[in-house]
Amino acid sequence: MGSKVKIALELAEMIKDINASGRDGRERIPNTETHMKEWCAHFAMEETAIRKILTELKDAHYIFVINIVVPDTNLFLPGTDSFVYAESSLLNDLKRYSELRLEKTYESTFYKKKSPFQIIKELFPKAKEYNNTPMGKALNEAVMIEEFSRVLANSAVEYTDSWKKNKIKDIYSEADEEVPSLEEELEQKSRAIDQLPKEKDNSENPNSQWSKVTNSFPIEFLLRIHFRKYEFDTVKKLIQTGKIKDEENLKYIRDTLQTMESRTSQDTILKRHLNEMIELRRITQGKLNLLRTNPRKN
């Protein structure tokens, strides 16, 4: 359950960071068109799994979801959702941001200026006419962010940190038995792609889950996924139990950790794991030192 909660909270934090400042000139309200591929790549997950996490974050009151494009089967048009973090001060800031964008979009569309209130009063009753247009998206976001601000104010207790934490723990404890571990997921994939196994160290139990997975997936690939999910304890156990013992893999872990430590000032989530990274790097360096003094002991 812990790793799943961690992934969900990381995604919520990513949405919050984008809402707060934007990035590389991109918009401050991420949506499934602009960010879904990025999130899938970051977590090494399918889109359906990311969408499920987003729904669970909404249910746990970490985020609000805005349907900015209504799906239309006749036009083969999929729906599009955008996401805002459920925090009062942030919503107030996004309210101003969305209203300014609404004003600019209205002006560029109709070549005249109106206040956000006037625009909403004029266009919202016929919002369907602007579905899947910049005008329609800006209109839906401005209206719903204002509505969410009221919801948050009227139900403040349900948006406190303690309420949200208890709710998300409940959600993931109920689903805990249904979600396989990373190694189980990759083992299932390996059975489907029919890859030839690589030569393995005979000291490794060939029937172990780790051995089966590493027959089809390089250890470096598995490590990248664990690091992407901030699963430093998992990597530590793999080293301490002797599953990872080759000098090349240990060097990769040490060098990756050094790089990650240098980026903690830019990544607020990564900064929380600084002590774990330092401990893991020291353990890794210790194993490397042993290899160099006793090269025959692997």
pLDDT in tens, 195-214: 434 434 434 555 566 777 77
Mean pLDDT on 77-90: 93
Q: What are phi and psi of 123, to 5 degrees?
A: -100, -30
Q: What is the pLDDT of residue 204?
A: 52
User: Based on the domain organization, do 269 and 212 belong to the same domain?
Assistant: yes
Going along the chain, which residue ranges are E strands? 63-69, 80-85
Distance, CA of 60 to CA of 207 (rounded, Å): 40
Closest CA to 8 of 38, 66, 42, 50: 50
User: Based on the domain organization, do 261 and 124 belong to the same domain?
Assistant: no
Instruction: Please indicate, yes or no, if residue 298 is contained in any of the structural domains.
Output: no
Domain limit, last residue, from 159, 177, 195: 177
Instruction: Please indicate, yes or no, if residue 115 is contained in any of the structural domains.
Output: yes
User: Based on the domain organization, do 29 and 154 belong to the same domain?
Assistant: yes
The residue range of the domain holding 275 is 182-293
Q: What pTM, to 2 d.p., does this model score?
A: 0.60
**Which of 4-18, 56-70, 86-100, 284-298 is predicted with the least confidence, judged by mean pLDDT?**
284-298
Pair 65, 169: CB distance under 8 Å: no
Instruction: Please indicate, yes or no, if residue 260 is contained in any of the structural domains.
Output: yes
User: Based on the domain organization, do 74 and 220 belong to the same domain?
Assistant: no
Closest CA to 153 of 89, 63, 59: 89
Q: What is the pLDDT of residue 273?
A: 85
**C-alpha dihedral sign at 258, 262, 266, 267:** positive
Distance, CA of 146 to CA of 216 (rounded, Å): 50
Instruction: Please indicate, yes or no, if residue 274 is contained in any of the structural domains.
Output: yes
User: Based on the domain organization, do 166 and 207 belong to the same domain?
Assistant: no
User: Based on the domain organization, do 72 and 164 belong to the same domain?
Assistant: yes
User: Based on the domain organization, do 159 and 217 belong to the same domain?
Assistant: no
Instruction: Please indicate, yes or no, if residue 48 is contained in any of the structural domains.
Output: yes
Pair 30, 83: CB distance under 8 Å: yes
**Which of 41-55, 217-231, 232-246 is predicted with the least confidence, judged by mean pLDDT?**
217-231
What is the domain count for the chain? 2
User: Based on the domain organization, do 150 and 198 belong to the same domain?
Assistant: no
Higher pLDDT, 3 or 30: 30
Query: What's the pLDDT tens digit per position in 175-198?
Result: 553 434 444 545 554 444 334 344
Instruction: Please indicate, yes or no, if residue 91 is contained in any of the structural domains.
Output: yes
Query: What's the pLDDT tens digit per position in 220-233?
Result: 888 888 887 788 88
- The DSSP string of 76-137 is TBPPEEEEEE--HHHHHHHHHHHHHHHHHHHHHHHSS---HHHHHHHHGGGGGGGTTSHHHH
User: Based on the domain organization, do 26 and 132 belong to the same domain?
Assistant: yes
User: Based on the domain organization, do 24 and 168 belong to the same domain?
Assistant: yes
Distance, CA of 142 to CA of 258 (rounded, Å): 43
User: Based on the domain organization, do 173 and 209 belong to the same domain?
Assistant: no
Domain limit, last residue, from 130, 156, 177: 177
User: Based on the domain organization, do 168 and 38 belong to the same domain?
Assistant: yes
Instruction: Please indicate, yes or no, if residue 149 is contained in any of the structural domains.
Output: yes
Query: What's the pLDDT tens digit per position in 5-33?
Result: 889 999 999 999 999 986 555 689 999 99
Domain limit, last residue, from 129, 157, 177: 177
Q: CA-CA distances (angstroms) from residue 2 to 169, 171, 232? A: 9, 12, 13
Mean pLDDT on 248-255: 91
Instruction: Please indicate, yes or no, if residue 287 is contained in any of the structural domains.
Output: yes
Q: What is the pLDDT of residue 201?
A: 43
